[in-house]
Structure 1
């Protein structure tokens, strides 16, 4: 019996070791060594737990290894990925049991006493499945739900309709939460929008909109409301009011000659074409003639030395 039990422990240890190696190998430039004994005792090395997950973690693995990897290896990795960036092996979110209520947005979480910014689960009004979001509990009174975050160019925002609909990226990095989620967040209660724009010298500008909402996909996720404006960045959303969302594979803008998403290399509520383009290409460079409309811009901000914007955040919060 003793030998049989020892054999089982060795087998389980090997399984967990393979799983951890598979799931976390891509998180470091150097290999991570795991002590089998600490795994068996449930004491995972802190170095592994602290590794920041990113998109290629499971994509580089064999399909059989992906399905083999248990939930303990995937939970942290999967919960931070947005929309189409989720791996097929990530579990599908389900509705909670009856009686268990998930907050609709970050403000509800904040009002329950959770004042630490971070990743939380929400279930927007009328949405069928919960979703993970990044909450800012400090900026301008707290309770803000991120719908977009950019700061280093690690995520490509020149994407198709499906990607913009369901979202993409990593909540610990750059991401777009998805038009479908934005619709459910803004369509059924009054929401305000905060846009934070950062230039190359880390100077921040703000555009606050007292009411913000978009329509459903059947209406092209039309930008229904973005007013009244206040702030330091200037109002560059008014030009886009009433416009449907346009991506490189679905042209719904007002430019008859071409597709604004292809010209501006992003996805947005383009008109003919834009006064703001926070989803344009991240370019750590000065404007040059051939590229000056093909990057992250907010036209009323005079960027130092003619540089493109370096970072943007978009956040929503209930008015009441």
Structure 2
């Protein structure tokens, strides 16, 4: 039986207090995103009190947790996710390498539940994006772009929210800051991705007369994304990474990441003790 510790406060992060959890065998809803041969890479297996996200794991470890795969529990069941601890406890929700061997031309259900390998190129899943960002804490989105010369550009949207499935996993974004261009909320290329529903090859929710997820470049479809008509940004096209003038056909990027973490002061409940953390 599981029990939860709830702190009745606004904009708090809640750590699920799990009792009697049998962690001898790794259990996670999205275990297909972690190859069996690397199940021993999960750094907090055996932990009876699971964090809601990677930031809570960092706080629970007093800042000592290292980068890697962790069990987190944003809702009722554990999932595996890659945590970028050295960058501040970000939960990685997407990673892509240009010309990735992972196919991002996927169906609605595949984008809902996630695909790929959390230790490499993957999409964590729209349902988990919803579970993570629905609160009670406010979340922000981090975008990291790397070009072939290893030049890194970063951007953050605060707040960041993905709505539930019946809305089409609609994207909601707040203010932007960073060294990358704002490719999601500024209509500089006649595309506006903020407030758009998610589109896949089998579910067309975009504003174009064709399905944007099916449109090909060099024989590769666009993949699922929050399209307008169609895209000034698309981090799920595996043969070319789009981010307006930062990443495109002429200015190639090699890698891209999307990550989430709480954006406000949170209260963490761990092993029955509460403490304030930034």
Q: Which SS does the other structure have where 1:274 is aligned?
A: coil
2:223 aligns with: 266
Show the 5 A alignment for 1:80-95: 81-82=32-33
Show the 5 A alignment for 1:1-320: 81-82=32-33, 100-113=48-61, 114-124=64-74, 127-139=75-87, 142-151=88-97, 153-188=100-135, 189-224=137-172, 226-238=173-185, 239-255=192-208, 257-263=209-215, 265-282=222-239, 295-301=240-246, 306-320=250-264
Runs of 4+ with >4 A deviation: none
In the alignment, is the contact (CA less than 8 A) between 1:233 and 1:300 conserved in 2?
A: no
1:32 aligns with: none
Q: For CA contacts below 8 A with separation 6 or more, give which structure has more relative contact order.
A: 2
Calculate the TM-score normalised by the size of structure 1.
0.63
Aligned length: 219
1:22 aligns with: none
Structure number with larger C-alpha Rg = 1
- 1:79 is displaced (CA, Å) by 8.0
- 1:319 is displaced (CA, Å) by 1.2
C-alpha separation between the residues in 2 aligned to 1:214 and 1:227?
12
- 1:310 is displaced (CA, Å) by 1.4
C-alpha separation between the residues in 2 aligned to 1:309 and 1:161?
26
C-alpha separation between the residues in 2 aligned to 1:80 and 1:173?
14
C-alpha separation between the residues in 2 aligned to 1:120 and 1:143?
11
CA RMSD of aligned residues (A): 2.9
- 1:266 is displaced (CA, Å) by 1.1
Answer 1 or 2: which has greater helix percent: 1
C-alpha separation between the residues in 1 aligned to 2:259 and 2:237?
18
Q: Which SS does the other structure have where 2:49 is aligned?
A: coil
The CA deviation string for residues 121-179 of structure 1, in whole angstroms up to 9 with x for no partner, is 0110xx2211011001112xx11000001235121111111110000011121110000
The CA deviation string for residues 290-311 of structure 1, in whole angstroms up to 9 with x for no partner, is xxxxx321013166x8143211
Q: Which SS does the other structure have where 1:119 is aligned?
A: strand
Runs (5+) with no aligned partner, structure 2: 1-22, 40-46, 186-191, 216-220, 265-278
- 1:115 is displaced (CA, Å) by 2.4
Calculate the TM-score normalised by the size of structure 2.
0.72
- 1:75 is displaced (CA, Å) by 5.8
In the alignment, is the contact (CA less than 8 A) between 1:80 and 1:171 conserved in 2?
A: no
C-alpha separation between the residues in 2 aligned to 1:209 and 1:103?
23
